[in-house]
Every structure is written in structure tokens, then in C-alpha cells.
Amino acid sequence: MEPAEMNTIPNGKGHGAGEVTAIKSQSEDAAQELVPNSTENASTDRTPGNVEANLAESSEFLSNADDKKTPHFTDFEGKTSFGMSVFNLGNAIMGSGILGLAYAMANTGIVLFVILLTVIAGLSAYSIHLLLKSSGVVGIRAYEQLGFRAFGTPGKMAAGIAITLQNIGGEIVERYWYLNGNYLVVIVSCSVILPLALMKQLGKSFLVSQPMQDLLIIQSLVSLQVIYKKFQVKCPFAEFSHNNTVTSVNTSVAANAGGVQMTPGGDPACIPRLFNLNSQTAYTVPILAFAFVCHPEVLPIYTELRNPTKTKMQHVSNISIGVMYIMYLLAALFGYLTFVDKVEAELLHTYSRIDPYDTLILCVRVAVLTAVTLTVPIVLFPVRRAIQQLFFPNKTFWWPRHIAIAVTLLSLINLLVIFAPNILGIFGVIGATSAPCLIFIFPAVFYIRIVPKEEEPLRSAPKIIAACFALLGVLFMIMSLSFIIIDWTSGTSKGSNH
């Protein structure tokens, strides 16, 4: 099939009834022809063992897949509406990164933070454009498989490792929401999370899908709670004490029974800054990148979109990113205006310093923790899939290996949660390593390798822009890691202790 033809059927949908039969035949031939790379035909997985392994791997995410043939990107008929796709991608974007945004604003100033937030959001939308264009050429719906199509096994391994690190980092940050409860982390992991993580298939169960839909709503409440608290908490605020005596963070003054400082303004520490640069500014770009990672989920959502086209899915992405941009900006702005220089890397922990028994804060924590706990299978499935493709690519499903991977992942996550000194280090390391790879570097290099030279030469404007995009990601990674390491070695690193 010629490149021009492939672009007209990015995933074989959205055509008239008279074209369905011909397009389906063409798309099946193209899927078999174009995966893997034409320059690597010696490595094509066409043996019975490999086909069986691919079936087991695919059925893990699509429980209703046809067991008699290997499912392709062009074979799956999407049934998800445009609005629900926007909602699903918004869920994929929004996560625990929202809690670090106020801290990022405190260390950049309001104006510089808004500029950086806008830039990262725009670059994320462009990155999705590159992914959609690449997937439309080769008919692939998995991020790791795009890596395989572009660079063979090394590409798939690199993508799998980045996805694994990103998801593990997200899990670690989410467990920090447990209030100083190392025993609670272990108990919940063994009694609730482990059984969910052992599920063989995601399916359509209420246990998985409903909490995932509720998560965006609940985390939207976090933003509303931050806005509401701005008008309750006065700066400078006072530390809460169990014996109802409070110690002011900035001045020694009386406080009301709730432990909230009610002194008049004018303290220099309570004046917001438009621009601010210090050693902690190095964490800003990693925190923002961490907050906008959704790219491994874009292609599965594209697959399930009703009557999908690249343009339609790009609109879905733009709307989702735009909504999250507004929500992130509001949470960061009002969180920063509430605590100014005293805001911590974990925003909810800062509220606990005022009153750890505040009913609203506790309700928000319980709601978020419940939703996060029940969505663990969705977070761990991509990690387990990446591990299976990296280390057991030709193996069929086997329960002992399935259980061993889940137990190992949960044990590793719990150890990091318990012994990691603060949440800022997690934001910094993950946001400076896996996030730039998934947002900037991989989509650009996949695009350059996958899109045929006949359609777009290497010196064409789109590929030059993609190359600059990848270079920008490399610079972000090197600069962020360098400044973070300098911050660690100098002993000035701050963040909420666990």
C-alpha cells in the first residue's frame, strides 16, 4: 500500500458502507506487511509461538478480542464517544502531579510559571500529533510497538522502561498521600491493592472503570478545595499543636481555635512574586512534565474512539490538555497564594500543618485515596506488559510469572514510599528522565524513522521540527538532572518529609 493510501485510513474507520470490505482487506494486508520494519523482515514474529504470545499479550488489554486471530489496530471497532474520550484522556493526564504545582510556582514566580505551563502544554499537544501521524502510517496502537517499528527491540525496550519508570513514579507519589502510615501502606497493599493487581484482564468491570471515571471528578475537587481554602487561611499562618497552642511560622501571635492564623497582612513572606529563581527552580520543568504525561494512553484511546480520524483524536487531545491546563493553573495559583513561600512539594501536607484534622482536607484525602487504590490495575497493567515484552516476549500467560511480577512491583513501590526522604525527589527524578522521553524524545524520533522518506524527506520542515523537538527534550533532561544533582549535593533540597 502506498503512503498516500495509508494516510486516508489511519485506523480503518470513518468510511462509507460501500468501502468497508475493501478497506478492511487492505488494512489487514498492510498490518501484516508493515509490522515490523521492512528493513528488519528477518525478525518478524510469524512463528506459531510468537503469534500465541502476541495473542496472550493483546488479550490482557482487550478481553473481548478475537481468540482466533491476532488483533490489529485496524480491526478494533471503537465505540467511545468524543466526549467520553476527552474525559478518559483527561483522566490519563491528571494525577498526583497536581500536588506539586504550587511548589513549582513558588520557586519560579507567577509569570514564569504560567509561561512554562503554557509551553509544556503546547509541546504535549504537538507530541501527540507526532504519535498520531506515526500510528496512522503503520497501523499500530501501542507506544512500545511504535518503538519496535522504528528501532526494533532496542526501541521497544527503551519505551517499555520509560513507561515502567513513569507509572512506578506515579504510584509512589500517590502512596505519599497516606498520612505518615508506613504500616497502613503495607496493609492496604496486601489486602486491597495486591488482589486488584492480580487481575488477568481489565475488562469492563465497575470495580475498575467507575473509580477511574471518578478520579478526574475527585481531583477536580482538589482544585476547588484549594480555591476555597485560600479565603480561609490567612498568611502568615500558624502551626497546629495538639494542646491548642500554636507556633507561628513567621511571627509569634495568637490564633483562633481552629489553629488558623488571623494576623493582618504585610509580612514579606506573604507577598507573592511574579518572578523567582533559586536552587529549587530546577524542579519546575520536571514537575510540569510529570503532570502532563499521558502519551502511552493516547493510542489505546484513539483505538476505542468512535469513527476515529487523526484530526478528531487531535481535537480530543487539545481539549483534554486545555481543560487540564486550566485546572492545573487554578490549583497552582491559589495554593501558592495561600502559603506563598511556605508551600511544600506535597500541597495537601501543607494544609495538614495548619490543622491535620480539618474535615474538608480529610474528606478529600479519603476520596482521592479510594479512587487511586481502586485504579491500581490500570496503572500496573502497562508496567507489567512492558516487563513481559522486555523479558518474556515469546512466553504465553503463566500465573506464577504473573503473580511474581505483581508482588515484585508492589514490594519495590512500597520500599521506595517508606524509605524515600521526600516527594520532591520522586517528582524530580521521574520528571527529568522518563517524562521527557515519553513526551519529547520518543515521539519525535519515532516520527522521523517511521514516516517514509518518499512522503517527508529528512530535510523537510516537519522532520526538521521533529528533530529540534527531540533535541529540546534531551536538553531539558540534561539540564534538569544536572541542576537536581547539584541541589542534592549542596544539601539545599527541600520537600515534605514522609
89-107 pLDDT per residue, tens: 887 787 777 888 999 999 9
CA 394 to chain CA centroid, nearest Å: 28
Q: Containing H/E element for 247? A: strand 247-248
Is the pLDDT at 409 greater than 60? The verdict is: yes
The C-alpha cell 527503551 sits at 158
Question: pLDDT-based confidence at 398, cuts 50/70/90?
Answer: confident
Return mean pLDDT, the chain.
74
450-479 pLDDT per residue, tens: 999 988 999 999 999 999 999 999 999 999
270-315 pLDDT per residue, tens: 788 899 988 888 899 999 999 899 898 898 889 888 888 999 999 9
Compute and round to an integer the Cα radius of gyration of the chain.
24
Output 270 or 74, whichever has higher pLDDT.
270
Do residues 107 and 283 lie in contact, with contact meaning Cβ atoms separated by under 8 Å? Answer: yes
Do residues 351 and 229 lie in contact, with contact meaning Cβ atoms separated by under 8 Å? Answer: yes
Sequential DSSP letters for 395-447: PPP-HHHHHHHHHHHHHHHHHHHHH-SBHHHHHHHHHHTHHHIIIIIHHHHHH
Output 35 or 133, whichever has higher pLDDT.
133
Res 58: pLDDT: 41
Output 15 or 464, whichever has higher pLDDT.
464
Q: Containing H/E element for 248? A: strand 247-248
Which CATH number does 21-490 carry? 1.20.1740.10
376-391 pLDDT per residue, tens: 666 677 777 778 777 8
270 Cβ contact list (under 8 Å, min separation 6): 235, 236, 250, 340
Do residues 264 and 251 lie in contact, with contact meaning Cβ atoms separated by under 8 Å? Answer: no
CA neighbor of 495 nearest in space, from 434, 439, 442, 426: 426
Q: Which region holds residue 185: left if phi is over 0, alpha if psi is between -120 and 50, else beta?
A: alpha
